[in-house]
Every structure is written in C-alpha cells, then in structure tokens.
Amino acid sequence: MLLLLYCALFLSGHLPTASSVHWGLGYNRQSPLQVPNPTGPQEVFQVYHPVSFTSKESHGCNTEILLMEHVFGASYGKPFVGNYQPPGCEFDTVGINLTVTSRGRQFDRLALMYLGDTEVFRTSTAEPMAEGIEPQKLIFDLGNLISDIYTGSFNVTLTAHFSYQENARTADIILPISAANSLSNSPSAFHVPGDNTTVQHRIPAAVSRAIVSISAWGQSQEEFWWSNGFSPDTEDFKSTVGELSGFSPFREIQLYIDGILAGVIWPFPVIFTGGVAPGFWRPIVGIDSFDLRQPEIDISPFLPLLQDGQEHSFEIHVRGLDITAGGIATLSDAVGSYWVITGNIFLFIDDKDSPAPLVMNRESEAPRVNAPTPRFTITRSLVQNQTGGNESLAYCVVAERSFSASSPRLSWSQTLSFANHGIFNQQGCSQVNQQHTSGNFSTVELEDNSISTSTLFEYPLVVSSTYGTTGNELTIDAWMERGLYIEATGGPGISTYTLTSGPSQLRSSQSGTAHYQSVNGGNSSSQGDTMHDFESLRNGKLYKRSVRAVNGGMAYDSDPNSKTMGSPSHGLDGLGRDSVRSMLGRGPRHLS
C-alpha cells in the first residue's frame, strides 16, 4: 500500500509534501471501497472457530448484557464511555459480540475496548479483582473514521455473554501495562515511539504464576513493517515512487521488568482490510484482522524478584534494525511512527484460601536470564541502470534468537527464527517480500515433575505487488500467500494467543490475487479472488472451513450452516471516488 500511495500520488500530478504523505499512510487499512447497496447489507467476516456463548451445566450464568449501543460519528478523541456492571451469577467465560454496521464505508475493526485501564479482547475473561468482581468503566475507542469525505457513521452494538464453562481457569488479578487514562475517560494504549511505556506494579506474594500478554500492531509507516526496507535504502526510489519506510522488515517487541529483558515477541504480519490491494479482503478479511491475538510471555521466573512487597517496573519496546554502511545489523532503539501497544499481566493464585505468606522485607531474587545477542545476517544489492538510476534492490534479513529466564521453580524459554527476502524491481514499482517467522515458547516447571507447556508457531507470508502506470491510469496487480499455524499444549488459564484454554491447534492459510485500477485517481475498480482454508482443534473439537471469495461475493463456502453463500455479490466496481487522496481514506486523524 505504501507504494500505491506514492505511485498514485506521483501519477495524479499532485505531489504532496513528505509530511502529508506520512499523514495519509495510516488510513490504508480502511478499505476505500464504497459498496453499492441494492439488496441489503453484506456481511464482511473473518473465518474463526465458533465460540460457545452458553454454559455447559445448568448452574452458573447464562446471561447476556448489552454493553453499548452507539453511533460513532465524528468520534476521534471521543470514545464511548459507559458503566460495566457484571451479573451476580457465577461465570468463568465472557464472550463479546461486536456488531458493526456502516452504510457507505467499510468498518474499521481496529476498535479497542477497555475495562478501566485494561484492554480487553474477546475470549480473554476480564474478571478483574481477586476480591470480587467490581463494576468498571467501559471505554470503547473507535478512533475517527469520519471526515468531510468519509460521511458514513458506524453503528456499533456490543454485548457480553456470561457463562460458566467449567474448564476455564481464569486469572485472579489482571494488571494493565497501559497509559492508564481511564480516569480522564480516554483510551489507554501507548503510541511508540513517543510514549514512555514504563508502568509500576506491586505483585502480591500469593501469586504463583504470572503471564504477560502483549497487544501490538503497527500503523502508518509501520503498518506494513514486513515490507519496509533498510534505513539507508529509503531514498533509493524517491524520484520514481517516493520515500520508503525503514528500519528493515524485522520487528521485535520486548518486555522489560526492572530493566531486565523478560521475553520477546516477533509479531504476526496482520494485514488489515484495504492492505496491499483492497480486492483481497472482501468479504473475507485477512487472518486475524478482526480479532487480534495477544502473544504471551511467562514471567513466572521473575516472581521471586517481584514479590518483595515493593513496586517494580514493566516496560515494552519495539525494535527494528539499524544497518551500517558496512552491512552490520543491530537492534535499533526506535522504529518508524508508530505502534499501538498495551500489555496485561495475568496473575494466578494457586491456593486462595491459604493465608498469604509474609511479604515484608522478603529478599528478592533475580531470575537467571540467558539472552545472547540475536544473530542477524543481511544482504543487500542495489542495481543501477546505464544512466545511474536505481533499477532494482534485493535485500534479505535472517534472524535467530534464543532467550530463557529461570527461577528455582520454573523456566521460560524462547527460540525464534525469521527470514525476509525482499525485491524491488521496475524502479521500485514492483515489490515482493517473502517472509517466514517461527518460534517455540515453552515453560518447564522444574519442581513439579518437569511439567512443560509449549507454544509452537509459524507465520509464512509472501506478498507481491506491481504498480503499473499508463497515461492517467494506475493499476495494481497483487498476489499473496500467507498462513498462521499454532500448536499449543495450553498454559495455566485461557490464552490470549490461542484464544482458548488447554491444548489447541490451528492451521489458517490464505492465498489470492487482486487487481486494482483507477483513472485520474478517481474512477476506480477492484477485483479479487481469495481462498481461505481454516482448521482448528480446541476443546477436543475440530472445526474446518474453506471459503473462497471472487470479486466481492462468496464463490464457495464449505460450511453448510453459513449464511454467506447466496448473499448478494455486490462486486467492487464503480467506486467513483473523487481523488486518490480520498480513495486512500486519508482522514484528519493523526495520533502521534
């Protein structure tokens, strides 16, 4: 999408200033598509494992509560703020049903829901306090999607379904790593670079396990981080397609506790609706783009350090790569603008009835941390043509890292690998990135017969896009193949990463082609053909679904109960936007 912006603006003859270009980049994820609506609304959906909203046994809650019914008009800086009062019955699972209807524009699903200062996602239970469940302030931030061009409003209904599923162990205390803005009725996400992400927390002595979940995604210059170039190459194609985003296609999110590295996350390359080429994502959106997972770091080895009754600091960083002229890569201190980040610390108490051990002046004991410097191998080759113009650029990053932290009771270890091969051709107008991320995160309880849990994952990705320009016509031809594969034994409670408790497996893969064309930056059309194969095993139940969408309508759905087939194919044509700027969804919002 980055190059679309530059190519498009270049061709439209209105060369913007650099700053206004960046300003616009964050909006690509809003699909610019205006779908004609002759026969009623079309459902845009993410393929997911169906969630049970009802209790297994007759006892416990089976209750639905309406949390919010709200029209988000010009809502930037104006989140919905309401009160959340949990029901009196017993529950261990809360399902959140978020329904958004919009006439005229695709819904931006990057809405954030908070209870107080804590970001909440579906299937992570938000039972806030050990001392009972307290009413909380509900803050729902849908950002601003409205401008003079984007006139559609977003009608949002949010319900919570409380049930008792028996098999779900929930955290006893959840502490936020967030900007803690709920007192001023504001959303609490950090924006980095810029914000100081350090927070202080006191960890009760009764806690026996502690897991940190991290929610982080890139926006603007960082939305397509996996296609970014090396910083010394950002001007290679400036004269043809404009400036590229830098810091390489490698990203690492780091958690620090008291200044000690506690674990790292190598993010899943989420692609939001409208990303790369809009025709891919309607009506089947990209993997996870409606429901972002939060990878987890087990910080239990830090408990002996943390349980001394004092406050301790938690801090999240995002790193890319700095690359020297000599070709040496090191983790960068910062990345481009910007990432939206929060974390949650899930605390589990084993025996709630036994009196808490004395905490006063307990000697704190740091974990044994083994964090060798990650290994990076990079290559880069810029090819120039006869007249000295930059013709093509091939670059590659291979990264390997291992990390472990151990206490006498428990050991957390991570091994991670990453590779990204990128090629720009045709003076920057054609780009392919082939990326593969994989990892093994595991916890071994050393005292407890060496019980171990592990999460294995793989994120393959290939994205190719070519921008063509003839006369006043701009075209994009793109194809992609991507996957999200997870195999997990399950940890102490519901995982914010696997979205379930207990063992689970997921194989979700998408592939497709898309074409986009616009004349004079205005009259535009999209075509697309996307397949999605989904196979998920959780709670002992296997769910499989294969779907295919062609040009905005459903061409195949293996799920006989699905209502998507037979829904009208609205197509994607006749968009009639006034300009490339509006087509790209540039809005007035600027967050950092």
CA 315 to chain centre: 19
Does position 102 bind ligand NAG by CB under 6 A? yes
C-alpha–C-alpha distance, residues 501 and 348, integer Å: 14
CB 109 within 8 A of CB 274: no
C-alpha–C-alpha distance, residues 362 and 258, integer Å: 17
Burial class (CB in 10 A: 0-12, 13-18, 19+), 379: exposed
Does position 103 bind ligand NAG by CB under 6 A? yes
Q: How far is the CB of 277 from ligand NAG (least distance, A)?
A: 18
Cis preceding linkage at 193, omega within 30 = yes
Applying CB under 6 A, what is the total number of residues that bind ligand NAG?
30
Quick note: the x/- pattern for ligand NAG over 143-182, rule CB under 6 A, is: ------------x-x-------------------------
Does position 475 bind ligand NAG by CB under 6 A? no
Of the ranges 132-140, 387-395, 542-550, 559-567, which one interacts with ligand NAG (CB under 6 A)? 387-395
Q: What is the Rg, in whole angstroms, of the alpha carbon atoms belonging to the chain?
A: 24
User: Kind and range of the H or E element at 298?
Assistant: strand 296-298
Closest CB to ligand NAG among residues 201, 548: 201
Does position 238 bind ligand NAG by CB under 6 A? yes
Q: How far is the CB of 357 from ligand NAG (least distance, A)?
A: 28
Does position 233 bind ligand NAG by CB under 6 A? yes
Q: Provide, for the chain, the percentages of residues in helix, strand and coil under a 3-state DSSP scheme, each rounded to the nearest 5.
A: 10, 45, 50
Tokens (6 digits) for 120: 């909440």
Tokens (6 digits) for 110: 């990057």
Does position 385 bind ligand NAG by CB under 6 A? yes
Tokens (6 digits) for 511: 């592939």
Of the ranges 30-38, 170-178, 232-240, 510-518, which one interacts with ligand NAG (CB under 6 A)? 232-240
Q: What angle do CA 510, 93, 64 make, to 5 degrees?
A: 100
Question: Which one-letter amino acid corresponds to residue 177?
Answer: I
Within residues 504-543, the interface with ligand NAG by CB under 6 A covers 523
Question: Which one-letter amino acid corresponds to residue 477?
Answer: D
CA nearest 175: which of 373, 396, 362, 345?
345
**62, 63, 97, 438: which one binds ligand NAG (CB under 6 A):** 97
Does position 239 bind ligand NAG by CB under 6 A? yes
Within residues 53-92, the interface with ligand NAG by CB under 6 A covers 53, 71
Q: Which residue has the CB atom at the shortest distance from ligand NAG?
A: 389
C-alpha–C-alpha distance, residues 221 and 336, integer Å: 6
Q: How far is the CB of 131 from ligand NAG (least distance, A)?
A: 26
**20, 52, 54, 101: which one binds ligand NAG (CB under 6 A):** 101
Of the ranges 107-115, 261-269, 274-282, 388-396, which one interacts with ligand NAG (CB under 6 A)? 388-396
Name the site residues for ligand NAG (rule: CB under 6 A): 53, 71, 97, 99, 101-103, 155, 157, 196, 198, 233, 235-236, 238-240, 385-387, 389-391, 413, 427, 440, 442, 454, 456, 523
